[in-house]
Structure 1
Amino acid sequence: MSEDTRRRYSAPVVDGVGKSASRAMLRAVGFQDEDFRKPQVGIASTWSNVTPCNMHINQLAEEAANGADEAGGKSLIFNTITVSDGIANGTEGMKYSLVSREVIADSLETVAGCEGFDGLVAIGGCDKNMPGCMIGLARLNRPSVFVYGGTIQPGANHTDIISVFEAIGAHARGDLNLIDVKQIEETAIPGPGSCGGMYTANTMASAIEAMGMSLPGSSAQNAVSTVKAEDSRAAGAAVLNLLDRNIRPSDIMTRAAFENAITVVIALGGSTNAVLHLLAMARTMEVKLSLDDFTEIGKRVPVLADLRPSGHYMMSELVAIGGIQPLMKMLLERGLLNGDCLTVTGQTLAENLADVAPYPDGQDIIHAFDDPIKSDSHLRILYGSLAPTGAVAKITGKEGTYFEGRARVFQSEEEAQARILDGTVVAGDVVVIRYEGPRGGPGMREMLSPTSAIMGKGLGNDVALITDGRFSGGSHGFVVGHITPEAAEGGPIALVEDGDRITIDAVANRLELAVEEAELERRRKAWQPPAPKVRRGVLAKYARTVGSASGGAVTDDF
Structure 2
Amino acid sequence: MRRSEAILQRPDFNFNRAVYKSMGFSDTDLEKPIIGIANTWSELCPGSYNLRKLAESVKYGIYAAGGTPVEFGVTGVCDGTAQGNEGMKFVLPSRELIANDVEVMVQAHRLDGIVLMGSCDKIVPGLLMAAARLKLPAILLPGGPMLGGPVFDGRKADLTSLSEGNGMLKAGKITEEELVRLEDTCGPTYGSCSFYGTANTMCCLSESLGMTLPGGALIPAVYAERTRLAYQTGEKIVELVNRNITAGDVLTAASIENGIRVLNATGGSTNGVLHLTAIAKEIGISGAEMTDKFKTVGKDTPLIVKVNPAARYDMEDFYLAGGIPQVMKELKPLLNMDVMTVTGKTAAENIESYPYIPVDRTIIKTIDEPFSEFGGIAILEGNLAPEGCITKPSAIAPDMRCFTGKARVFDGEEAAEEAILSGKIVPGNVVVIRYEGPKGGPGMREMFKAMKYLYGVGLSAATALITDGRFSGTNNGCFAGHISPEAAEGGPIAYVEDDDEITIDIPHGKITLHVDENTMDLRREKSLIRKPPALDGYLGLYSRFASSASKGAVLDWSRK
TM-score (normalizing by structure 2): 0.96
* Residue in structure 2 matching 1:224, options 211, 222, 225: 222
Give the match for residue 161 of structure 2: 163
Letter in 2 for 1:398: A
Q: Does the CA-based 8 Å contact 2:321-2:359 persist in structure 1?
A: no
2:366 & 2:242 partners in 1: Cα distance?
A: 40
Root-mean-square deviation (CA, aligned residues, Å) is 1.4
Letter in 2 for 1:445: R
2:158 & 2:360 partners in 1: Cα distance?
A: 25
* Structure 2 residue 79 is matched with structure 1 residue 80: no
Letter in 2 for 1:121: V
* Structure 2 residue 134 is matched with structure 1 residue 140: yes
Please give the residue correspondences for 1:254-293 in structure 2 after superposition, counting only pairs within 5 Å: 254-288=252-286, 289-293=289-293
Query: What's the CA shift string for 1:485-533, capped at 9, x where partnerless?
Result: 0000010000000000001100111111111111100111122232332
Q: Does the CA-based 8 Å contact 2:214-2:350 persist in structure 1?
A: yes
Give the match for residue 483 of structure 1: 483
Mark the CA change 1:486 to 1:458 in structure 2 (over 3 Å): closer, same or farther.
same
* Structure 2 residue 183 is matched with structure 1 residue 189: no
1:156 Cα shift? Answer: 2.0
Give the match for residue 398 of structure 1: 397
1:435 & 1:527 partners in 2: Cα distance?
A: 14
Query: What's the CA shift string for 1:139-180, capped at 9, x where partnerless?
Result: 111111111110100112211012111111111211111111
Mark the CA change 1:92 to 1:9 in structure 2 (over 3 Å): closer, same or farther.
closer
1:148 & 1:389 partners in 2: Cα distance?
A: 33
* Residue in structure 2 matching 1:58, options 43, 48, 52: 52
Give the match for residue 331 of structure 1: 331
Give the match for residue 32 of structure 1: 26
Give the match for residue 544 of structure 1: 544
2:268 & 2:360 partners in 1: Cα distance?
A: 23
Q: Does the CA-based 8 Å contact 2:331-2:367 persist in structure 1?
A: no
Give the match for residue 172 of structure 1: 170
Query: Aligned to 1:483, what secondary structure does the other structure show?
Result: strand
- Which deviates further from its counterpart, 198-207 or 284-293? 284-293
Letter in 1 for 2:306: D
1:369 Cα shift? Answer: 3.0
Query: What's the CA shift string for 1:237-264, capped at 9, x where partnerless?
Result: 1111111221111111111101111111
Query: What's the CA shift string for 1:421-469, capped at 9, x where partnerless?
Result: 1110010000000000000000000000000001111111110000000
Give the match for residue 3 of structure 1: none
* Structure 2 residue 123 is matched with structure 1 residue 129: yes
Give the match for residue 516 of structure 1: 516
Superposed structure 1 runs of 4+ greater than 4 Å apart: none
Paired-residue identity, %: 41
Query: What's the CA shift string for 1:4-38, capped at 9, x where partnerless?
Result: xxx54564144255412111110122211111211
Give the match for residue 438 of structure 1: 438
Query: Aligned to 1:341, what secondary structure does the other structure show?
Result: coil
Mark the CA change 1:325 to 1:508 in structure 2 (over 3 Å): closer, same or farther.
same
Give the match for residue 98 of structure 2: 104
Letter in 2 for 1:535: L
Number of paired residues? Answer: 550
* Structure 2 residue 38 is matched with structure 1 residue 44: yes
Give the match for residue 374 of structure 1: 372
Give the match for residue 71 of structure 1: 65
1:361 & 1:248 partners in 2: Cα distance?
A: 32
Letter in 2 for 1:250: G
Structure 2: state its 5+ residue gaps.
none
Letter in 2 for 1:262: I
Give the match for residue 244 of structure 1: 242
2:300 & 2:98 partners in 1: Cα distance?
A: 34
Q: Does the CA-based 8 Å contact 1:292-1:381 persist in structure 2?
A: no
Letter in 1 for 2:145: T
Query: What's the CA shift string for 1:329-375, capped at 9, x where partnerless?
Result: 1111xx11111010011100000110346662664111233432221
Letter in 1 for 2:517: E
TM-score (normalizing by structure 1): 0.96
